[in-house]
């Protein structure tokens, strides 16, 4: 008899635990029917000129906390440090780009880093939609853009 009571009590506890584990406090479900989930947009390339303004040289200091925020784990990311320095110098010189930038990085994890950037400040001018003449040099076989060169790929040719 005692075993039956224990069996019933255990069953009731198990049932109560199961009910409390399945308790849903809030739930919402929505389903929509979509004819086409992908929108296709084609944009004609833009061209512009790069107007070089002046030769620039600036040393920028980054604190250990800033360097840590730009790093991954225990490894200092020199690419991120260089990118940040170019961004800050372009902002300082009111430029869209720093052309032919070179870098000298000195410092320690505990004191921060000084990044000296040398290059030429430049602004984009004369924006226009590309013409057929522009397509010849933009999309010729094997042509690399600056973005392609950074990620190691090449653009394809236009198929007419």
DSSP 2-60: HHHHHHHHHHHHHHHHHHHHT--S---------S-S--------EEEEEEEEEEEEEEE
Confidence of residue 71 (pLDDT cuts 50, 70, 90): confident
Q: Return the higher-pLDDT residue of 145 and 56.
A: 56
CA distances to 112, 117, 119, 126 from 65, in Å = 8, 21, 27, 40
Q: Residue 87 pLDDT more than 80?
A: yes
How far apart CA 74 and CA 148 sit, in angstroms, is 29
Instruction: Please count the CA atoms within 13 angstroms of the CA of 40 that sit on its side-chain side.
Output: 1
Q: What is the pTM of this model?
A: 0.60
Q: How many angstroms separate the first and last alpha carbons of the chain?
A: 90
Phi, psi of 73 (to 5 degrees): 65, -135
How far apart CA 83 and CA 102 sit, in angstroms, is 11
Give the distance from CA 33 to its chain's centroid.
32
Tokens read off for 51: 């107007």
pLDDT of 110: 83
pLDDT of 138: 79
Domain boundaries, the chain: 46-127, 130-160
pLDDT of 18: 55
Q: Residue 111 pLDDT more than 50?
A: yes
How far apart CA 85 and CA 103 sit, in angstroms, is 9
Q: Residue 30 pLDDT more than 50?
A: yes
Q: Which of 72-76, 111-115, 149-153 has the highest mean pLDDT?
A: 111-115
Q: Residue 37 pLDDT more than 70?
A: no
Q: Is residue 64 a contact partner of residue 55, using CB atoms and an 8 Å limit?
A: no
């Amino acid at each position: 008899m005692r075993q039956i009571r224990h069996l019933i009590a255990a069953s009731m506890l198990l049932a109560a635990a199961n009910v409390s584990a399945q308790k849903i406090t809030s739930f919402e479900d929505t389903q929509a029917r979509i004819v086409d989930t992908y929108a296709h947009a084609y944009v004609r390339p833009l061209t512009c000129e790069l107007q070089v303004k002046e030769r620039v040289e600036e040393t920028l200091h980054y604190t250990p906390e800033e360097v840590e925020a730009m790093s991954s784990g225990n490894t200092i990311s020199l690419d991120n440090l260089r990118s940040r320095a170019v961004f800050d110098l372009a902002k300082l010189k009111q430029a869209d780009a720093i052309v032919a930038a070179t870098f000298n990085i000195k410092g320690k994890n505990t004191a921060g880093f000084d990044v000296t950037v040398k290059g030429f400040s430049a602004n984009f001018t004369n924006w226009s939609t590309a013409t057929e003449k522009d397509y010849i040099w933009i999309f010729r076989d094997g042509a690399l853009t600056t973005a392609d060169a950074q990620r190691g790929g090449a653009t394809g040719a236009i198929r007419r």
